[in-house]
Amino acid sequence: MINEAIVDDIEYYQEFDEKIEELFDDASFYNLINQTFNYLTDFFRCLYKICFDVVGELIVDSPFLLPEDYQCHLCKTVDTLTLF
């Protein structure tokens, strides 16, 4: 719940902005955010790669996604990632 007293308080907003800037100026915090972003980006790229391949292999005779398809592509993706 928002404290209504701070809604129009310009000084509060300025102080808040300064504290956020200080936080991002701290190297350890910046590195944490950067590593988290990179990890999440890699995760979604990997998930996309797995899902894209599986959906791309659907055919008229087998139009439904099956868990085995994902497991197979997951193994291929993990093997590829561990090579680097």
Name the residue range of residue 22's domain.
9-82
In a domain, 15, yes or no: yes
Are 70 and 54 within 8 A, CB to CB? yes
In a domain, 19, yes or no: yes
Digit-coded pLDDT (tens) for 24-34: 999 999 999 99
In a domain, 2, yes or no: no
Digit-coded pLDDT (tens) for 42-61: 888 888 887 888 888 888 88
pTM of the prediction? 0.51
Digit-coded pLDDT (tens) for 58-79: 888 888 988 888 887 777 665 5
Q: Please state, rounded to an integer, the average pLDDT across all residues of the chain.
A: 83
How confident is the model over 2-18, as a mean pLDDT?
84
- Whether residue 1 is predicted with pLDDT greater than 70 in this model: the reply is no
Please tell me the distance from the alpha carbon of residue 59 to that of residue 53, in angstroms, as a whole number: 12
User: How many structural domains are present in the chain?
Assistant: 1
In a domain, 75, yes or no: yes
In a domain, 1, yes or no: no
In a domain, 30, yes or no: yes
Name every residue whose Cβ is closer than 8 Å to that of residue 46 and which is 6 or more positions away in sequence: 77, 81
